[in-house]
Chains A and B, each alone.
Chain A
């Protein structure tokens, strides 16, 4: 995103693991001068009600995204392969555990 003007602190993306057994999910972003401060601010900002047991912070400008347009042909190769889904196959009635 915008790297900002003057002395604005860099932007970090925050990922929170809600509880053990779940993966980290994106919670939001914040500005912080360094990783340690980003973690502390993320705790105060995104886990005030025990929403997390673990936090990742990543500088926003280090994230590489697939494409500027999220409806891009990048994902098209998957669109014409319905045979990758179990519902593609017809199974005679009565056959079980399949």
Chain B
């Protein structure tokens, strides 16, 4: 039996070394499976919870054009959540279990969604910075060693680029608008910049899962590497927007070939993770309520299917 496990491990290691994908029915170490479920569940939950801060503005979008765009974007987030839940389920967990763990706080979602969307400009900043950071994180996941996750990420990344561009365009319109509109855009950037940098997770030396995830080729770049890449991308984009990033230490470093940036307030990050962010309670209670209020629809559809003898299960 032990010899068997060793043989399986050898095949698994060889597949990783050859940059092959691991597929659902392949043997994989329990820790690899658990780590993937944790990451994919957190990712799926983030998409679903992420619908809330933006949906907050659908009814108050300033034009029909902006409203249609925002609805399409929020619908995409739901879609992304569903791709990822399906991919996670190939590892042997179930949808009910995943939702249960979200609702009971046993699985997490990205801490960024615990910040409120106070003004219309926040919708633009979420597209530009939050989705921008997500894309920076997600593009390398298209080459993740687990096949279903990588495939879901390919779809998601294609769709995310619309999200980022609509946000940038929205901010550009504000920044070229009246003085009040420009100020609103700048205020939103000031509030979201640092939380966006926290989206890449703790610094490499403090990241609990990073090293193992990289060895398993789930993760391809370290948190700090991706964060730096994001900063380098954003600085010229902010200039194009005519907005500033709220960091007095931000400047080009000729030697490194990168922008230097100031220290991140990791205590704030830990507080938000611990449930003490501005909207943690609201996000989860709204999610639970939506789930509970949808129960009769799920039950009615199941009853209808049973009555008409549909063979699904």
Question: B155's closest neighbor in chain A, by CB?
Answer: A28
Q: CB distance B82 to A45 under 8 Å?
A: yes
B96's partner among A6, A12, A70 (CB-CB below 8 A) is A6
Q: Is B176 interfacial (CB 8 A cutoff)?
A: no
Question: A4's closest neighbor in chain B, by CB?
Answer: B94
- Which residues of B have CB within 8 Å of A65? 25
Question: B27's closest neighbor in chain A, by CB?
Answer: A69
Q: CB distance A8 to B25 under 8 Å?
A: no
> In the docked arrangement, what's the CA distance between A27 and B82, Å?
12
Q: CB distance A2 to B92 under 8 Å?
A: yes
A7's partner among B79, B82, B87, B302 (CB-CB below 8 A) is B302
> In the docked arrangement, what's the CA distance between A49 and B75, Å?
12
- Which residues of B have CB within 8 Å of A38? 312
Q: CB distance A35 to B96 under 8 Å?
A: no
Q: CB distance B94 to A7 under 8 Å?
A: no
Q: Is B305 interfacial (CB 8 A cutoff)?
A: yes
Q: Is the interface of B mostly helix, strand, loop or mixed?
A: helix
Chain B residues 74-117 with CB under 8 Å of chain A are 75-76, 79, 82-83, 86-87, 89-90, 92-97
Q: How far is the CB of B204 from the nearest CB of chain A, in Å?
A: 33
Q: CB distance B90 to A34 under 8 Å?
A: no
Q: CB distance A9 to B298 under 8 Å?
A: yes
Q: CB distance B79 to A1 under 8 Å?
A: no
Contact count band on A: 20 to 34
Q: CB distance A34 to B310 under 8 Å?
A: yes
Number of A-B contacts (CB under 8 A): 85
Chain A residues 59-74 with CB under 8 Å of chain B are 59, 61, 65, 68-71
Question: A12's closest neighbor in chain B, by CB?
Answer: B312
Q: CB distance A34 to B313 under 8 Å?
A: no
Q: CB distance A34 to B305 under 8 Å?
A: yes
- Which residues of B have CB within 8 Å of A17? none
Question: A37's closest neighbor in chain B, by CB?
Answer: B301
Q: Is B23 interfacial (CB 8 A cutoff)?
A: yes
Q: Is A10 interfacial (CB 8 A cutoff)?
A: yes
Q: CB distance B313 to A3 under 8 Å?
A: yes
- Which residues of B have CB within 8 Å of A68? 25
Candidate in B24, B299, B312 with the most chain A CB atoms within 10 angstroms = B312
> In the docked arrangement, what's the CA distance between A38 and B311, Å?
12
* Chain B 269-313: CB-based contact to A (< 8 A → 1; otherwise 0): 000000000000000000000000000001101101100101111
4 closest A-B pairs by CB? A10-B312, A34-B310, A34-B305, A33-B305
**Please, could you name 11 A-B residue pairs with CB atoms under 8 Å apart, sorted by A?**
A1-B24, A4-B95, A5-B97, A8-B96, A11-B86, A30-B86, A32-B312, A33-B301, A33-B304, A34-B308, A59-B313
Q: Which A residues contact B (CB, under 8 angstroms)?
A: 1-12, 28-35, 37-38, 44-45, 48-49, 59, 61, 65, 68-71
Name 16 extra pairs, CB < 8 A, besides A29-B89, A34-B312.
A1-B92, A7-B299, A8-B95, A8-B96, A29-B86, A32-B312, A33-B312, A35-B310, A35-B312, A37-B301, A48-B75, A48-B79, A59-B313, A68-B25, A69-B25, A70-B25
